[in-house]
Amino acid sequence: MFYTRIYSGVYGSSSDIIDGSTQKVKYKKKSSDIDTRPFYLMVVFPKDSERVVVQKGLFIFQNVGQFGVKTITTTLMQEFFSKGFHITLKCNTISPDLFVRKIIRQDNIKKLVMVKNIKSSDTSDNVRKGYGSEIREIGNLYFTEKMWSRMMDKIRYVAGGRYNLFEFEQIEYDNLKVVVDIGGRTRKINLHNLENLSIIEAIPDKIKMADGHPNLTMLIEHFTKVATEYLEEMVLHIG
């Protein structure tokens, strides 16, 4: 396990840098100026076990608000390994089931969007793929603990396979999306396509220093704890 620091920023347009306390302009940013931020990346290589030969690891990226470096970093790494070593690097969510349990909760689920493919009784209509579909949306959801447990079992089943059906009120649906609130933002998640989605973990406030950046020692400890929890779910161990 090791970490690295990545600096990233945006340039191309001018702007005014304003003091947040006085609202006065402190600096006029030119289009050639780059406002860089440091982002930490933790790379984790699990150990082989008697039962498992590990062929995957973990990337844990730090985000700062809406800013991050995941997409550009993984794209450049894929190009590097492909051109230099003829190796294909795949970056997917670590575990669909773990993603579902971390992201979808009883207190943040807002809506179910269910799609049922409709086939015509006329066989000539079914020559073309996807004759039609019926979409059903349900909001204002309320669950007792028992109802939520059953619902999560069904959601986890759907997430476990691209072609798994979702049964609701004795009707089978071909596709299920859930609308959830993540950090105050509404996000629609297609449970049949979780490969490229990321789990977002909040960094505890105690790790942040006065300048807004994290205390590196405490951040590494937090990264290690999070990585260990994920690897235990995947029956792996940090190498």
- Residue 110, class by beta-carbon neighbours within 10 Å (0-12 exposed, 13-18 middle, 19+ buried)? middle
Q: Are residues 65 and 137 in the same domain?
A: no
Structural domains of the chain, count: 2
Q: Are residues 67 and 104 in the same domain?
A: no
Q: Average pLDDT in the 81-102 region? A: 86
Query: Measured on CA atoms in the order 103, 56, 5, 74, is the torsion positive or negative?
Result: negative
What are the tens digits of pLDDT across the range 189-217?
999 888 777 777 788 889 988 888 899 99
Decide: pTM greater than 0.95. no
Determine how many CB atoms are found less than 10 A away from the CB of residue 112.
Answer: 19
> Residue 12: inside a domain, yes or no?
yes
Which residues are CB-neighbours of 228 under 8 A, at least 6 positions away?
238
Contact between residue 100 and residue 154 where contact means Cβ atoms under 8 Å apart: no
Contact between residue 1 and residue 238 where contact means Cβ atoms under 8 Å apart: yes
> Residue 62: inside a domain, yes or no?
yes
Q: Where do runs of H (alpha helix) occur along 27-112?
A: 70-85, 96-103
> Residue 239: inside a domain, yes or no?
no
What gap in Å lies between CA 43 and CA 3, rounded to an integer?
6
> Residue 238: inside a domain, yes or no?
no
Q: Are residues 186 and 101 in the same domain?
A: yes
Confidence of residue 160 (pLDDT cuts 50, 70, 90): confident
Q: Are residues 135 and 184 in the same domain?
A: yes
What are the tens digits of pLDDT across the range 59-69?
999 987 778 89
49 has pLDDT over 60: yes
Take residue 238 and report the two structure tokens written for it. 């940090």
Which residues are CB-neighbours of 173 under 8 A, at least 6 positions away?
114, 115, 116, 136, 165, 166, 167
> Residue 85: inside a domain, yes or no?
yes
DSSP structure string for 3-50: EEEEEE---SS-EEEE-TTT--EEEEE-TT----EEEEEEEE-BPP-S
Backbone angles phi, psi at 169, to 5 degrees: 50, 45
**Cα distances (angstroms) measured from residue 33 to each of 13, 66, 137, 186, 201:** 8, 20, 47, 33, 31
Contact between residue 113 and residue 133 where contact means Cβ atoms under 8 Å apart: no
User: What is the domain range of residue 224?
Assistant: 2-93+199-233
Q: Average pLDDT in the 176-184 region? A: 87
54 has pLDDT over 80: no
Q: Are residues 73 and 121 in the same domain?
A: no
Q: Are residues 82 and 106 in the same domain?
A: no
124 has pLDDT over 70: no
Which residues are CB-neighbours of 201 under 8 A, at least 6 positions away?
102, 226
Q: Are residues 149 and 211 in the same domain?
A: no
Q: Are residues 89 and 154 in the same domain?
A: no
